Each structure stands twice: as C-alpha cells, then as structure tokens.
Amino acid sequence: MQQSFPMNGGDGPHSYLNNSHFQRQAINVSRTMIEEAIAKKLDVKCFSSNPFRLADLGCSVGPNTFIAMQHIVEAVERKYLAQGLKSEMPEFQVFFNDHVANDFNTLFASLPTERRYFACGVPGSFHGRLFPESSIHFMFSSHALHWLSKVPEELLDKNSPAWNRGRIHYTSGPEKVSHAYAAQFEHDMEIFLSARAKELVVGGMIVLLIPALPNGIPISQSPFGAMFDLLGASLMDMAKEGLISEAEVDSFNLPIHIASPEQMTELVERNECLIIERMEFVDPRSNLFGLINGKECAMFLRASLEGVFAQYFESGIIDQLFDRLSKKIMESSHQLEPVGTLLFVVLRLK
C-alpha cells in the first residue's frame, strides 16, 4: 500500500510555502538548462493537438511550481516562434499533481493572476498512471522522486537482517538496509517511468530535477546523510531522556532514497521506451548549496519532513525535535559541504 507524505501546508512559519528556498534556487539555477533542452529537443512540429499540456509531478503547495511552469511556458512559446509557427501558437494547460493529502487549497489560492495557462489539479501518486495515453506534451518534476512510495517492509521486521534498529535511514546502516531502500526505489521508478512513457506525446519531453549523488559516493559523505544522521541522533537523545520510546525510533524510517546517475541510467535503459537526452549535475559551484545556518536548515527540513514524523510521533515532540536538530547542525556545519546533490535529467520517447 502506498503512503502519503505531504509537505507542510498553509502559509505559517513552518509551511513549505515559506521554507522552500532551496528548491526555488534549484529551479532558477537550472532554468537555462531547461530552456536549452526545449530549444534543441522539443519537437513542436509533431504536435497537432491544442492545448499544449504540461504536468508538474509532485508540485506541492507553491510558489516554486508556478515559477517553473511560467519558465517552461515562455520557453515553449519561444520555440514555436523560432520554428516560424506563430500562427499555430497553442493555448497552455497545466496539471498540478501531488498526493491527495497535499494542500491544494493553498496551491490554488496562490495561483498567479497573470498566468498564461489554464490550471487544474490532479490528486494522486505519480507512482502509477495519472493521465490518458499520449496526452501530455511536457512533464516536469523537481525534488520529488527521492520520495519512496512506502518504507521497505524488511526494515520493520525484527527478524530481518534489514531491521534498522536505532536508525531512521540507510545512512550509516548495514548493507542489507541500503539494499532494501535501493530495491524499493528501483521498483517505484520502474512504475513511474512506465506510466510516463505511456502518457507522453510523441515529440514531448520529461525534465527531472532529482536529489542525487555522484557515482561511488556513499550517502554518509553527503549533506543528505549528515542531516538524516543528525535527525536520528536527535530522536535517540529524546528516547534516552524518556520523551519517546526507543521502540518508536526503531520502527520509524524516512522513506527517502538518494540515487546516482548510474542507477538512473540503468533504470531508464531498462524501461526500453524512453531515452536520456541529457543527464548532468547542476553545478555545485553555483550558490545553490552553500553552507547555511542551523536554524534555516532545520526549518527547511521541518517543512519537508514534519508530515512524516507527525504520522509516527506525538505532535508535542516536533518543536523540540527540530530545535535539537538546529543545534546539532550548527555544531556539525563542516559536514554539510555540497557534493553533487542535484541531478538534471531530460528524457524523450525513443
């Protein structure tokens, strides 16, 4: 059974709306790469249908999705003009997709008034079909595909070699735990890619921005691993103080897997319907992933992860958990140097 892990809704101090600056920077830094992909590889002469349909898979609550969709619409318009197709310029329709538990009310309440597209919501998991066959011209997903559809079952079995006692992630865990995460990610991605290949129009394009690590780099040497370890350590400290039980920590695992280019390439090749047009890391020398203060990082993580923790722990511990995390990050800031971190992928049908 798939699980839902929504970002913090609303527009409060801990909301995703007000604490997703890193994702926004990623979209802005990759803007030129997206424009180049559209200019060189999007085959608008293949399209006979109107409107031009775009989908943001894992859109969350805004405003980042609106920024990305506007960039893409403008780039597609320039493509039509460059091809001498001004008279055939289509109208645009954007499908905003996320889990049913996503705060779509906040999303649609903050839609830009001057947008150049028609908007609609598509609630449901992208780990499965969402649209009719050959109906979407451009698919986009940013900072969403690292989420698993569910926690690997082996991690919760005390008799399994993959039981993840005392940890909340595969960072620093036994090899069996890492293998369980990787197997779940591969299963999810196979379903994702198969569904998208059916839904994509011939000549269309898929652009993905995926948290990732260079081939051969263990997650323990990454900012992701450092933060997940610090979160786990904060929970274990609270367990030792009797604020929560160790059994609760033992049964909790973050449903997040950080892939590599090698793993992504293998999964796309296994699909047999899609090809990779471009795959590279967003330049880590940009200002995208510089060192940040502990409070800012903790707020970002809380906006993204509070919904997951709230499903397993009493809400009364959330404030203290992220306060402790903030302090630990400040004490361990040397661990948060950027390594790779964001993979840019362009896919098309064969």
| pLDDT one-digit tens code per residue, 38-66 | 999 999 998 987 899 999 999 998 788 99
CA–CA separation, 203 vs 42, rounded Å? 6
Is 349's pLDDT higher than 90?
Answer: yes
The model's pLDDT over 79-110, given as tens digits with 9 standing for 90+, comes to 999 999 999 999 999 999 999 988 999 899 99
Strands 200-212 and 136-142, sheet pairing: parallel
CA–CA separation, 211 vs 224, rounded Å? 9
Asked if 61 contacts 7 with a C-beta cutoff of 8 angstroms, the reply is yes
Ramachandran area for residue 37 (φ above 0: left; ψ -120 to 50: alpha; else beta): alpha
Is 298's pLDDT higher than 90?
Answer: no
Is 3's pLDDT higher than 60?
Answer: no
Asked if 173 contacts 206 with a C-beta cutoff of 8 angstroms, the reply is no
- DSSP state letters, 288-327: GG----HHHHHHHHHHHHHHHHHTTS-GGGHHHHHHHHHH
| Average of per-residue pLDDT values in the chain | 88
Q: Which residues contact 101 (CB under 8 A, 6 or more apart)?
A: 4, 6, 307
Is 18's pLDDT higher than 60?
Answer: no
Query: pLDDT at position 6, please?
Result: 54
pLDDT band with cut points at 50, 70 and 90 for residue 340: low
Query: pLDDT at position 127, please?
Result: 96
The domains located in the chain, with CATH, are 21-349 (3.40.50.150)
pLDDT band with cut points at 50, 70 and 90 for residue 27: confident
Is 205's pLDDT higher than 90?
Answer: yes
Is 334's pLDDT higher than 80?
Answer: no
Asked if 130 contacts 197 with a C-beta cutoff of 8 angstroms, the reply is no
State the DSSP code for 216: T
Query: pLDDT at position 297, please?
Result: 76
The 3-state DSSP class for residue 256 equals strand
> Which of 166-180, 185-199, 324-338 shows the lowest per-residue confidence on average (mean pLDDT)?
324-338
pLDDT band with cut points at 50, 70 and 90 for residue 312: confident
> Which of 66-70, 129-133, 281-285 shows the lowest per-residue confidence on average (mean pLDDT)?
281-285
pLDDT band with cut points at 50, 70 and 90 for residue 32: very high
Query: pLDDT at position 246, please?
Result: 92
Sign of the C-alpha dihedral, residues 59, 63, 68, 72?
positive
- The tokens describing 239, both together, are 């367990």
Query: pLDDT at position 54, please?
Result: 98
Strands 274-281 and 341-349, sheet pairing: antiparallel
pLDDT band with cut points at 50, 70 and 90 for residue 15: low
Query: pLDDT at position 4, please?
Result: 53
